[in-house]
Amino acid sequence: MTDYLFEPQPVTSVAIEGESKQFPVRRIFCVGRNYEAHAREMGRDPSREFPFFFTKPADAIIPDGGDVPYPPETENFHYEIELVVAIGKAGFEIPADKAKDHIYGYAVGNDLTRRDLQLEAREKGRPWDWGKAFDDSAVIGPIKPASQIGHPTTGRIWLAVNGEVKQDQDISDLIWDVEEVISILSHTMRIRPGDLIYTGTPAGVGPLKVGDKVTGGVDGVGEHSITIVAPREGV
Ligand code: MN
């Protein structure tokens, strides 16, 4: 047994509906601009431009019902409701028509974003990590196995802040669908069990403040809620 200098970071995991076992998280991939109306509201061309990705650390996960401390160094902290794909089987250079074989299940996620830092990075041609990959930035509800719910391609995707609906579209509006996203990602790097892919957010993104109760869902996949709380103190 390896003798570590200090206790290694525990594995982050996500609950699976109807299953006592947890889904251990390896990597979190996120697709940028994958709904036309959101691309437009971000001031970008909504055409079928080849998708791009960014990542978040696995330990940024916040489960359903969790408290999200308002993050540091932002004055424009945004929600982004997203359909999340949970990978259950390794693959490389996967053809789109074989992508389903690699999917364990689906969940509803929220790609929390420090919009001011993201836009500053975008304008300066810098990496997006400081806008996207910060602590407590990857909200996810329980995973629903595809063996139970199938592979949803239509269904309402929505988000509400304090009960007021802010985002309301359909996952059939995805510019690049789940199978295409898996295929494209797997040509760039090997995907492995435990990978999560946040597939992009519809239009209507906006700011959050301390005290906000955020709910969201995808029909056929589930719902989740979080509460924005005071900034974290200490480490
Ligand atoms: Mn996003």
Sorted by where each begins, the domain ranges of the chain are 13-229
Question: Rounded to the nearest whole angstrom, what is the distance from the C-alpha of residue 4 to the centroid of ligand 1?
Answer: 36
* Spacing, Cα 113 to ligand 1 middle (Å): 8
Distance CA 153, CA 197 (A): 15
Q: Which amino acid is residue 66, in one-letter code?
A: G
Centre of ligand 1 from the C-alpha of residue 138, in Å: 10
Note the pTM of the prediction, 2 decimals: 0.96
Secondary structure tally for the chain: helices H, strands E? 5, 18
Q: Express each pLDDT in 70-128 by its tens digit.
A: 999 999 999 999 999 999 999 999 999 999 999 999 999 999 999 999 999 999 999 99
Q: Count the alpha carbons within 13 Å of 48 in the hemisphere toward its beta carbon.
A: 7
Helix (H, G, I), strand (E, B) or coil at 91: strand
What fold characterizes domain 13-229?
Fumarylacetoacetate hydrolase; domain 2 (3.90.850)
Other beta carbons within 10 Å of 11 = 12
Burial per residue of 36-54, b for 16 or more beta-carbon CB atoms within 10 angstroms, e otherwise: bebbeebeeeeeeeebebb
Judge whether 104 and 196 are in contact, CB under 8 Å. no
Residue 45 pLDDT level (bands cut at 50, 70, 90): confident
